[in-house]
Amino acid sequence: MDQLIVTGNGALTGEVRISGAKNAALPILAATMLADGPILIDNVPHLHDVTTMIELLGRMGVQVTLGERMQVEVDPRGVHTLAAPYELVKTMRASILVLGPLLARYGEAEVSLPGGCAIGSRPVDLHIRGLTAMGAEIRVENGYIRARAGRLKGARIVLETVTVTGTENLMMAACLADGETIIENAAREPEVVDLARFLSAMGARIEGAGTDTLRIQGVRSLHGARHQVLPDRIEAGTYLVAGAITRGKIMARGACPGVLDAVLQKLREAGAEVTVHGEDIELDTGGRRPSAVNVRTAPYPAFPTDMQAQFMALNTVADGVGTIAETVFENRFMHVQEMQRMGARIQVEGNLAVVTGCETLTGAPVMATDLRASASLVLAGLVAEGDTTVDRIYHLDRGYERIEEKLGQLGAKIRRVRK
């Protein structure tokens, strides 16, 4: 397994180009199966999760061709297998996103239950309940979701919890259902909006994307389209925190600032000067130590849970005491004990972490447990004295394109070693 060795090396400065959003590219790739014609998708990030989704689609018969740079051509007209096997789904939970499209387009799907992961049990009961409300017959047995349906019927669905992929699955299924589907308490994440834009480009009739109420009029078929994936706000936020934690100055190019308000506000509270220039975001700490901030995660547009670990790292070396409340996932503090090995002072009580900032951390061997936790350990390594060896970085490769290259360009001392 690969490791990253990060050596504290002072302030990061320079420019970083933000890639396409993983959590938009994944549902968009799954949604191609709804179409009767070829699709062209631009700005697809080169990530392990995207490769897994492309492999899954390929196994079902979808023709996927990787163009030059980040372009992907998809021809969904050859689908012959309506199943997503466990050995692929267990490596990427987002495989559940093929359930809605398969059911809506082919009336049948057999998708492995994703199972839990380090950050929580990650149930999919709301996906299943919503599709059942649309007329699907769903049995969950032997670790698989076996679903069948004639043409799905429009329904009014009230989601008891805001669920991003749940909203996406139901929105995709509703596009080809008979009649109108209303989804209440829908997720408002920008990635849901980007998926809605893509579905509309294929001829879907969707209103309310970005609000908590989606209204979808089912149509008989969807045609091919071209779409550019929106920038990855979490990648952008991660690099801005890299600038803040090292007391540097970063320009994030093509960062889509309009969907990062909650994160930019917290970076300003931490004492950084944050300026938006069109689609670029400039962060300048003036060489100052960050101030501790209080963070509470919640569904968009509130502070994103996918930025929680990164701000935990920031607080470990900030001036003062900061609190981190995680309200979305039940076990998303796995990075705490790893940071404590680096000298961080963190007290955890339930879903609340109280972080007392230290002047500095000390490098140590640490282990990544999930995607964003691994990013936070790299951030901590950027300011720690000496070497920090981050193990199990396959988590990182799932969600960050060429992270050591991008950080290296900003002045970080970071290298990948094969173990």
Of the candidate residues 34, 56, 111, 164, the single one contacting ligand EPZ (CB under 6 A): 164
CA angle 394, 337, 48 (to 5 degrees): 10
Least distance to ligand EPZ, CB of residue 124, Å: 5
Residues between 304 and 363 that touch ligand EPZ (CB under 6 A): 305-306, 328-329
**Which residues make Cβ contacts (< 8 Å) with residue 125, sequence separation at least 6?**
none
**Interactions with ligand EPZ, residue window 262-291 (CB under 6 A):** none
**Which residue, 22 or 197, is less far from ligand EPZ as judged by CB?**
22
**Which of 191, 28, 207, 179 lies closest to 101, judged by CA?**
28
228: which strand partners? 42
**Of 293-312, which residues contact ligand EPZ (CB under 6 A)?**
305-306
Backbone angle region of 203, left / alpha / beta, with phi > 0 → left and psi within -120 to 50 → alpha: left
Binding-site string for ligand EPZ from residue 205 to residue 244, where x marks contact by CB under 6 A and - marks none: ----------------------------------------
Among 101, 166, 243, 290, binds ligand EPZ (CB under 6 A): 166
8 A C-beta contact, residue 369 and residue 395:
yes
Catalytic residue from among 117, 175, 256, 358: 117
Q: How far is the CB of 18 from ligand EPZ (least distance, A)?
A: 15
Cα 346 from Cα 387, distance rounded (Å) = 21
Which residues neighbour 12 within 8 Å (Cβ) at sequence distance 6 or greater?
Answer: 242, 243, 246, 248, 250, 382, 407, 410, 411, 412
Contact 368, 392 (CB under 8 A): yes
DSSP, collapsed to helix, strand or coil, labels residue 330 as coil
What is the rounded CA–CA span in Å between residue 7 and residue 229? Answer: 34
Interface mask toward ligand EPZ for 103-132; x: CB under 6 A: -----------------x-xxxxxx-----
Looking at the Cβ atoms of 24 and 364, the one nearer to ligand EPZ is: 24
CA atoms of 355 and 336, how far apart (whole Å):
10
* Active site (annotated) includes residue 175: no
Write phi, then psi, for 148 (nearest 5 degrees).
Answer: -140, 155
Q: Choose the stretch contacting ligand EPZ; rule: CB under 6 A; options: 54-62, 71-79, 146-154, 159-167.
A: 159-167
Distance of closest approach, residue 300 Cβ to ligand EPZ, in angstroms: 7
Q: Shortest approach of ligand EPZ to residue 239 CB, angstroms?
A: 15
H or E element in which residue 66 lies: strand 63-66
Site string for ligand EPZ, 52-91 (x = CB under 6 A): ----------------------------------------
* Gap between the Cα atoms of 355 and 44, Å rounded: 36
Tell me which stretch binds ligand EPZ (CB under 6 A): 162-170, 269-277, 376-384, 408-416.
162-170
Which of the ranges 10-18, 157-165, 262-270, 337-345 carries the binding residues for ligand EPZ, by CB under 6 A?
157-165
Nearer to ligand EPZ, 120 or 203 (CB): 120
Site for ligand EPZ in 177-196 (CB under 6 A): none
Q: Is 188 helix (H, G, I), strand (E, B) or coil?
A: coil
- Closer Cβ to ligand EPZ, 193 or 328, answer by number: 328
Contacts of residue 143, defined as CB under 8 A and 6 or more positions apart, other chains included, come to 86, 112, 113, 115
Residues 17-56 that bind ligand EPZ (CB under 6 A): 22-23, 26
Active site residues: 117
Site residues (vs ligand EPZ, CB under 6 A)? 22-23, 26, 94, 120, 122-127, 161, 163-166, 305-306, 328-329, 371-372, 399
